[in-house]
Chain A
Amino acid sequence: MFNSFSTYYYSFVKIVNRYLWSGEAVKARPVYVRYGFTVILLAFITLLKLQYFIYIGEKTPFLLYFGVVIIATGFGGIGPGIFSTVVSALISNYFFIPPVNEFHFSRSDNIQVLVFVFECLLLISLSGAVTRASARARKTAIRFHALVENSADVIAVVDASAKILYCSPSVKKALGYTVKEFRKINGFSLIHPDEKEEIEHFYNDLIQSPRKSKSMLHRYLHKNGKYVWIESTVTNLLDEPNVQALVTNFKNVTERVILEKQKEDFVGIATHELKTPVTSIKAYAQILLKRFNKDGNTAAAAMVEKMDGQLNKLIALIGDLLDVTKIEAGKLQLHEEWYDFNTLVTEIVEELQRTTDRHTIIWKLDPVDKIFGDKERIGQVFTNLISNAIKYSPTSTDILVNSSVKDNTITICVEDRGVGIARDQHAKVFDRFYRVSGPGGDSFPGLGLGLYISHEIIKRQGGHIWVESEEGKGSTFCFSLPMDYRLLPEEHTKNNQEANG
């Protein structure tokens, strides 16, 4: 009952808005229509009043003429408004202010008429203001409507029970359904079975968190029967009184996902193909090294050893390329176990010490129990930090390694006296492709991937990595790791994929 009443009320308001108080509609009407309409209205009201003179004429000469002025202004603008005011005043004077059926201009008559005219002028200016405001509101509404309707992303408004209240037409392009068809579908029924539970969980979570916004990437059944990849962002506006719904925008990103998959596969194959010849080159180099050593040809042996060192750099670069691709795809896998942190560090320090004659690695480690994580990956991070310390301190010799244990967290720092990093660059060193510039502005060689990968590895295992450095004085890179990151709250170890959607 109430519902149908409000529906009628809104359609009434809609009609009034369309035909009255719409600046553009008024301007679009020809002058004779505007004045003609006013004259007809005046005539109609006057006949009505004459017909029922006793009820609406005799004691209230101006009754209904206010209405005429309002409607005439709304329909025809200020001109017909003033016109209807003057005519109503004259009609009222002639027909309805006693003595009737004649014009008379006594002092009291004039005051009555003047008050009427004044009130009407107020009404007209008010009506003008309403017209302008409503025109502005309409324009804004139309603009936003156009924005939403023509957006390449699908925009949908969903209530708490996942019923679709509104959906923009671009859904046809994204999922093949028309808006009408799509609104009849239960949103969850088209989600890929493998992801359904996860998405439902995600959705229920979001409903509980007002004003929160979440993104996700999942498969959805297209009208053509094939699954497509959909990337969506949902914002909970249930507590916003004017919305009371979830607002979502999503798009079909199948092409992008396929391309990413191809790129990932390609890098996987390419790194494998690169590693294969490197493996045999490295093996041959080591055979040569052994044979030169056996024959006592130390000069040749030294050269082959350097060659082997260069090969190791090449192998690390190939590994970095593969790692970055995996991180981007959210597929960097960790192989976790309990391992002895200090043994790992000692092995790496000893191995890297062998690769440099110029630098001395001085290390002091706090005793620590076994920690849980990916030993190889943590080793990779530590190797990266020491290699960087060696690489970026071409003129100094000492590299200090210190570790400390506190509150179930191990912190290890690698300190050098090298070129250092300017303060404004500190935040950038863990970005992809960042490279340190040398003293002369020339950059050091490298892909700029090592610290980015290190940051990712440490983050995934619930740790932190940071730098303290001053240009020209050297850098200290540190990372800290919890003994067992599984004991941390979930958000500390969110991997890339979850963060991106």
Chain B
Amino acid sequence: MEPGLLKSADWPLLIDLYFFLGGIAGGAFVIATIAHMLDSQRYRDVVRVGYYLALLAIIPAPIFLIVDLGVPSRFLHMMMVAKPDPAIGAGAVSIGPFHLKLLSPMNVGAWALLGFSLFAFLAALGVFLEDTKRAQNLGTFRVVVGVIGGFFGFFIAAYPGVLLGATARPLFVSAHWLGAMFVAVGLATGGAAIALIMASMGAQARDALSRLMKVTAFALIIELVTLILFLVTVSGAGSAGISRALSVLVSGQYSVAFWLGIVVVGLLVPLALQFGGAIKKANPVMVALISVLVLLGGFLAKWVIIGAGQVVLS
């Protein structure tokens, strides 16, 4: 297809912000759950900040999504309609007024957002009840909530990438690595956000900060690898239209934000600082600086890739 004839959904900044916040929320939740299960006493602050952050980051999500709809009052149609049609797709399952469309990442994502929001609330509630001594011995409850919510957290971080891959946009139609990359961005930004909050609160928790930097560094490496695989896959697709779409990202109007923002500021500089001693020393100022860079790079990863993919070529 002549790429200029394909249409774009023209998703605005709100959607980029949702994908960014969803990644932070999912990543922070997963990290909090892992920290809680490994040593709930030692990593108490990580768990507390992680679960509260996951809830706070996911609260604006449905608002952003609803505001962006052409008919916002119909947001519930994402999951239910009064009279569903029987022939709505190969992967569709309807139960009463509800429908689940397994091949529509946007539909499954709406259900996952509902599930994640519920578990993010329950996890934050568990922290609150124990902190305020209103409840004790919530161990099993918190582990169950953490594990189930953790799966939702991974999903919330990943599905926007799969959603983009299931479009006909030339930049995305042959790219299989966006979901994998967005998981890594989610864990990196989730870890960085927890570290930034802990560092800026003046917590002298160098052990926790050091471990959070390790998590973030590892996620950044996966992000870098999947980003390279994304570029290799798209450039190897062998279509002139796809090559033109890729050039918008790597040498066109988004190239400065891509190379300087995502690759240098968001990946290479934080990794160099982390392996240059920041993980070991865990100086709060340095941790805060690295976290800001990772968060900036994480946001740009969503904004630049979605923006470049939506450019309609003439």
A and B bound?
no
Chain A interface residues toward B at CB < 8 A: none
Chain B residues close to A by CB (< 8 Å): none
